């Protein structure tokens, strides 16, 4: 699961152009330059984000690794950079051992929800084997 990126330190470039609209929701990485060039998107009733030259979803990550590198966003139409749908991620070393979510060892999941006027904390203990996918 997941992916590993090896950049080799090169001067790679990415150029994406669209007559109407550029929509990005993934990771873009290049060494030297990333150019995103949107167009003029016609407005359509009931179509999410229509009429915009570029839409970058909250899941978008754009980065370069060389000195003096550039990231260029350009469109004659509106450019929207959206906030992520969520800002909290759960990361654990090794994460899932199997795509089914079944783990071979005992696990403890600690949860903490900190609101303005109260805090909720809980610990869930699982004895092996535990299936969190059901």
Mean pLDDT of 64-79: 92
> Mean pLDDT score of the chain, rounded to an integer?
83
pLDDT of residue 125: 76
In this prediction, residue 84 has a pLDDT band, given cuts at 50, 70 and 90, of confident
d(CA 18, CA 1): 31
Mean pLDDT of 93-112: 68
- My answer on whether 72 and 105 are in the same domain is no
Q: Decide if pLDDT at 131 tops 60.
A: no
Query: Are 28 and 66 members of one domain?
Result: yes
| 8 occurs within a structural domain | no
Q: Which of 4-13, 44-53, 55-64, 106-115 has the lowest mean pLDDT?
A: 106-115
Mean pLDDT for the stretch of residues 11-38: 95
Contact of 42 with 51, CB cutoff 8 Å: yes
Query: Which residues span the domain enclosing 127?
Result: 90-134
Same domain, 71 and 96: no
Per-residue CA distances from 29 to 8, 17, 44, 71, 77 (Å) = 12, 16, 32, 10, 24
Neighbouring residues of 53: CB distance < 8 A, sequence distance ≥ 6:
21, 22, 38, 39, 40, 41, 75, 76, 77, 78, 79
> Looking at the domain assignment, is residue 6 inside a domain?
no
Is 65 found in the same domain as 94? no
Share of the chain above pLDDT 70, in %: 78
| Residues 71, 77 contacting (CB under 8 angstroms) | no
Rounded to 10 degrees, the C-alpha dihedral 48/53/79/14 comes to: 110
Structure tokens at 91: 């990361």
Tokens 């003096």, located at residue = 68
Number of domains composing the chain: 2
- Polymer length of the chain: 134
Residue at 133 is within a domain: yes
Q: How high is the pLDDT of residue 1?
A: 52
Same domain, 77 and 101: no
- Answer with the one of 81, 104, 124 that is the final residue of a domain: 81
User: Residue 33 has what pLDDT?
Assistant: 96
Calpha distance 128→126 (Å, rounded): 6
Band of pLDDT at residue 95, cut at 50, 70 and 90: low
Q: 70 and 113: one domain?
A: no
Co-location of 19 and 68 in the same domain: yes
Q: Are 68 and 33 part of one and the same domain?
A: yes
Q: Are residues 75 and 103 in the same domain?
A: no
């Amino acid at each position: 699961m997941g992916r590993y990126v090896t950049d080799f330190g090169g001067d790679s470039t990415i150029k994406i152009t669209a007559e109407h609209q550029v929509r990005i929701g993934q990771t873009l990485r290049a060494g030297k330059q990333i150019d995103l060039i949107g167009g003029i998107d016609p407005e359509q009733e009931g179509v999410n984000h229509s009429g915009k030259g570029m839409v970058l979803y909250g899941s978008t990550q754009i980065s370069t690794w060389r000195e003096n590198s550039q990231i260029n966003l350009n469109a004659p139409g509106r450019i929207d950079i959206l906030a992520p749908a969520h800002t909290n991620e759960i990361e654990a070393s090794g994460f899932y051992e199997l795509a089914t979510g079944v783990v071979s060892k005992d696990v403890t999941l600690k949860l903490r929800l900190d609101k303005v006027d109260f805090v909720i904390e809980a610990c869930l203990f699982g004895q092996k084997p535990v299936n969190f996918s059901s």
